[in-house]
Amino acid sequence: MKAVIPYKKASAKSRLSSVLSQEEREEFVEIMLNQVIDSVREAGIENIDILSPSMYGLENMTKARVLLDKSDLNEALNMYLGQAKEPTLIVMADLPLLSPKHIKAIISTKEDVCIVPGKGGGTNILFVKTPSSYRVKYYGSSFLTHCSIAVDAGQNIEIYDSFFGAMDIDEPDDLVELLIHGEGYAKKYISQKFRLDISRGRVRLSQI
């Protein structure tokens, strides 16, 4: 079994630019990446690849192997899957609420494919037992697409229902979830900069 984490540090997370500078966003995605790697490793997967279009920020990475591929996300991942000879976990790097317990449950699926939906129709984690007969198509409503691809290939699907797994961090409101439900360095980083504002009904982010 192995895991692959697509990652790009340069100018990451532009939808957080109203609350974090580029330097902060790049620091933050690196922290989230490390947290995801740690969760994957703690779940017992030792063979971990980071798939990135650039070495930027990965020069000193020792926890995982770095694979450089300048093609787009789908092309790079499909090339990777085509060569994979063992069950493969594709996990996004921006899931700081993910724990080893989630990953253990996902890779224990009895089905051929396990999909963890992200909010807004996304796919946050895909576990594929026979990766060479699967292909990915991220962006847009990738959750529905990834379900269809499995069905078309005659593969059974488990949909893994997890709020914490669904919570990829894209927008300021997502940082609220991290402050409320998070643990570890990603939460620590954000709680040094923001606090929860519960003064007006809904919980909002407030700069410290």
In the complex, minimum distance from the CB of residue 198 to its own copies, in angstroms, rounded to a whole number: 4
Name the percent of the chain in helix, strand, coil, to the closest 5.
40, 20, 40
Applying CB under 8 A, which of residues 55, 108, 156, 181 lies at the interface with its own copies? 181
113 in contact with its own copies (CB under 8 A)? no
- What's the rounded Cα separation, in Å, for the pair 135 and 173? 31
Applying CB under 8 A, which of residues 127, 143, 189, 194 lies at the interface with its own copies? 143
56 in contact with its own copies (CB under 8 A)? no
- What's the rounded Cα separation, in Å, for the pair 130 and 203? 43
110 in contact with its own copies (CB under 8 A)? no
201 in contact with its own copies (CB under 8 A)? yes
In the complex, minimum distance from the CB of residue 39 to its own copies, in angstroms, rounded to a whole number: 14
183 in contact with its own copies (CB under 8 A)? no
Which spans in the chain are helix H?
Answer: 22-42, 73-83, 100-107, 142-152, 163-166, 172-181, 184-191
Site for its own copies in 7-26 (CB under 8 A): none
Q: Which stretch binds its own copies (CB under 8 A): 3-11, 58-66, 106-114, 163-171?
A: 163-171
* Radius of gyration for the chain, computed over Cα atoms and rounded to the nearest angstrom: 17
In the complex, minimum distance from the CB of residue 179 to its own copies, in angstroms, rounded to a whole number: 9
# of chain residues touching its own copies (CB under 8 A) = 25
- What's the rounded Cα separation, in Å, for the pair 20 and 15? 9
Q: Could you tell me the two tokens for 74? A: 């789908």
CA 18 to chain centre: 22
Q: Which stretch binds its own copies (CB under 8 A): 2-10, 88-96, 106-114, 115-123?
A: 115-123
Q: Say if CB 194 and CB 206 are below 8 A apart.
A: yes
Kindly list the residues in this chain that would bind its own copies in the complex (CB under 8 A).
117, 119-121, 139-141, 143-144, 161-166, 173, 176-177, 180-181, 196, 198, 201-203
